[in-house]
Amino acid sequence: MNLVGQIVLILCILGAVLFFAKEIRLRYRLVKLGAKGPQRWDRPVERLGYAVGRVGAQICSIKDRPLVGIMHAFIFYGFIFFAVATINHVTRAFAPEFSLWGHGLFNNLWFLGVDIIAILTSIGAVFLFVRRYIFKPEPITKPWPFSRSPQSAIVLGFIFGLMVTYLLNQGADMILTGKSFAAWMPFSHAASTLLTGMSIPSLQIWNAVFWWAHILMVLGFLVLIPHSKHLHLIAGPINIFFRTREPDGTLQKIDFENTEEFGVTNVNQFQWKNIMDFFSCVDCGRCQDVCPAYASDKPLSPKVVMMSMRKHILHEADHLISGQDVSEPVMDKWQTPDEIWACTTCGACMETCPVKNEHIQTIIELRRGQMMMENKFPQELEPAFRGLETNSNPWNLGMSERATWTEGLDVPIMTEKGEAEYLWFVGCSGSFDDRGKNISHAMAKILNAAGVDYAILGTEEKCCGDPARRAGNEYLFQMMAEENVATFKQHKFKKILTSCPHCYQVIKNEYSQFEGEFEVVHHTELIAGLLDQGKIKLSPNGDGKMTFHDSCYLGRYNDIYEAPRKIMKAMSNGNLAEMVHSKNKSFCCGGGGARMFMEESIGTRINHLRVEEAEQVGAETIGVACPFCLTMLDDGVKEKGIEASLQVKDIAQLVAEQLV
């Protein structure tokens, strides 16, 4: 290449790289400016291994969308190969004979690899283009205006163009240099056949055009990356490295002593990791696809939360970098109350997200800001908060009545018994709600039949605090948590037994933030164990088909999938069907995230959608393992008027009915 060409090339590269660096630096600074939070440098080797494995093998992308994932993998590997190949490409402007790998067998193999990858990548790019712009699947094209930007078309065009210009450039080179690598570069060779018959001068011109087009597209891509969702190329793997190692959905503690700002009202109050999440989002819509709020026509899409916050923080970038106040709060322009209060904290979004975003923490931070800083929250929550404050239960029923459900039953109280293997934390539903009490009655029957050594706290028990925490009232939650931890510590027991997965999650994974480390067992685990040990026996009655509805907080949050299934199998004579969404893909009942205590006035009802799934598999019984699920699904069945053909019961109730 002549000197002018070389200078132009160097200037182009410098310009693009500088622009890229400037934009990346801006985003890095925005993340650094985020509020402090857990630093997430613990177990670096494990983290690195996980990130490399997940990205390297493209599990992130393939696991929930195999075909699309494989196409994405082609492009991913193309990107890796071409990142190196571009070095060869550029150096040829200065030293035409240079090759990174010399000129031996390895070099030949390398070029063979690049040739094949170039074709696969082209296939990937065409596939994704057709999918996005012709088939227009909802998760990536809706809601407008967050999706369907032309950026993806440009990027996919670049990727395809890169491959084509590479092959044509190599093909032209083959003819011009007379060196045929047909065996090692079959596709470049095929491209060269398109060019045969051209005169040498015009071939030389075309060769230069291909070469320049290739490098300019590489640089164009570099310029585009920071500005688009393609930032995930860089941010994604880093975000996976910094993923939470706690169960998804476990919320962080607010240190009320040392902060004046609770939650997020302004975008600069987000923690650095939340901001990393915003920059990592790929706009793939996997989260939106599985979100029960979105599926039931609520205005919430976890994808939009991420993308909108990214837009918002970039919009405020100048203010933030120069240390000024933000120009506007997050609410109600960048997020609306109807969005943030629609979340059931089911965790389906986090489970599927390829870059491991933590949507729930972001949404709850916004709820916290609204609840604690602005005193704004759905009105229906007020009685629940008052109830928790005054009577330690969200229904505000007299706290002295907490143990009246035990009347006529033989249920020992801790203060009287003194010591027990299991401290049974009955929970508010189990103590006060009629349907919840049925679970408690059944559980007491099972525990007594199996001779389990247990006791309850009686009136000493207080709500675990889950509804308060999920509703953003962290202050109230901490009051309940501290009181319960103190009560637990006064008693002698080995394990805590819960019938409610929300109590389970909070006591097991969140009370540790209040110096309460307890071994917690859910009643499905205990019952499965009792069956195994032969301490209880069942006589399956009837042959109706059953199905099991995974509670989000038991399944996705705490990976308990097998224990309830084992019991369900034993009870159903094997006549157990799985609904279309099950296990880690389970579909929420609609009651989590304090939604249990709010009206569901927008869109369709989540519990109806789930009940319909049970109907589809022809179930006559839905087994549940959570009092909220029981209430929501039972309401769903009754509202649909199908209670004659479909019953909803907690596993404990079903077991108690079949006890021999």
Partner 1 sequence: MKIAVCLKQVPDTEANIKIASDQKSIDESAIKFIVNPYDEYAIEEALKLKESQGAESVIAITLGPDRAKDALRTAVAMGVDDVVLLKTSANSSDALSAAKSLAAKIKETGAEMILLGKEAIDDGSMQVGPMLSELLNIPCITVVTKLEVNGSSVKAEREIEGGVEVLQTTMPCIITCQKGLNEPRFPSIRGVMMAKKKQISEEAVELDDAKLAVSSLSYPQSRSEGKIVGEGTEAVPELIRLLREEAKVI
- Interface contacts to ligand SF4, rule CB under 6 A: 281-287, 290-293, 300, 302-303, 306, 343-349, 352-355, 357, 359-360
Q: From the list partner 1, ligand SF4, none, which binds 459 (C-beta under 5 to 8 Å, kind-based)?
A: partner 1
386 binds partner 1 (CB under 8 A): yes
Q: Measure the N-to-C terminal CA separation of the chain; round to a whole number of Å.
A: 89
Q: From the list ligand SF4, partner 1, none, which binds 481 (C-beta under 5 to 8 Å, kind-based)?
A: none
Applying CB under 8 A, the span of 11-19, 331-339, 473-481, 521-529 interacting with partner 1 comes to: 473-481
Comparison of 287 and 423: residue with beta carbon closer to ligand SF4? 287
Helix (H) or strand (E) holding 494: strand 492-498
Q: From the list partner 1, ligand SF4, none, which binds 344 (C-beta under 5 to 8 Å, kind-based)?
A: ligand SF4
Nearest residue to 162 (alpha-carbon basis) of 73, 78, 278:
78
487 binds partner 1 (CB under 8 A): no
Q: Which of 6, 177, 202, 400 binds partner 1 (CB under 8 A)?
A: 400
Q: From the list partner 1, ligand SF4, none, which binds 287 (C-beta under 5 to 8 Å, kind-based)?
A: ligand SF4
DSSP symbol at 582: -
Q: From the list partner 1, ligand SF4, none, which binds 487 (C-beta under 5 to 8 Å, kind-based)?
A: none
Q: Which of 77, 262, 488, 557 binds partner 1 (CB under 8 A)?
A: 262
Q: Which of 86, 108, 244, 396 binds partner 1 (CB under 8 A)?
A: 396
For residue 602, give both structure tokens: 């927008």
Q: Which residues contact 377 (CB under 8 A, 6 or more apart)?
A: 341, 367, 370, 371, 471, 472, 473
Report how many residues bind partner 1 under the rule CB under 8 A.
21
Q: From the list partner 1, ligand SF4, none, which binds 357 (C-beta under 5 to 8 Å, kind-based)?
A: ligand SF4
Q: Report CA torsion sign: 394, 397, 400, 401.
A: negative
106 binds partner 1 (CB under 8 A): no
Nearest residue to 326 (alpha-carbon basis) of 264, 368, 235:
264
Nearest residue to 328 (alpha-carbon basis) of 298, 346, 345, 308:
308
Comparison of 387 and 591: residue with beta carbon closer to partner 1? 387
Contact 482, 462 (CB under 8 A): no
CA–CA distance, 635 with 385 (Å, rounded to integer): 23
475 binds partner 1 (CB under 8 A): yes
CA–CA distance, 124 with 113 (Å, rounded to integer): 16
Q: Which residues contact 358 (CB under 8 A, 6 or more apart)?
A: 244, 248, 273, 274, 277, 350
Q: Is the peptide bond before 467 cis (omega within 30 degrees of 0)?
A: no
Q: From the list ligand SF4, partner 1, none, which binds 385 (C-beta under 5 to 8 Å, kind-based)?
A: partner 1
Q: Report CA torsion sign: 423, 428, 429, 434.
A: positive
Q: Which of 74, 127, 385, 504 binds partner 1 (CB under 8 A)?
A: 385
Applying CB under 8 A, the span of 61-69, 386-394, 555-563, 583-591 interacting with partner 1 comes to: 386-394
199 binds partner 1 (CB under 8 A): no
Residue with tokens 């009320």: 256
Q: From the list ligand SF4, partner 1, none, which binds 313 (C-beta under 5 to 8 Å, kind-based)?
A: none
Whole-number minimum distance, CB 565 to partner 1, in Å?
A: 40
CA–CA distance, 546 with 540 (Å, rounded to integer): 12
Q: Which residues contact 627 (CB under 8 A, 6 or more apart)?
A: 427, 429, 430, 433, 435, 436, 439, 499, 500, 650
Q: Which of 265, 344, 391, 505 binds partner 1 (CB under 8 A)?
A: 391
Task: Please report, as ranges, the residues that interact with partner 1 according to CB under 8 A.
Answer: 256, 262, 371-373, 375, 382, 385-386, 390-391, 396-401, 459, 473, 475-476
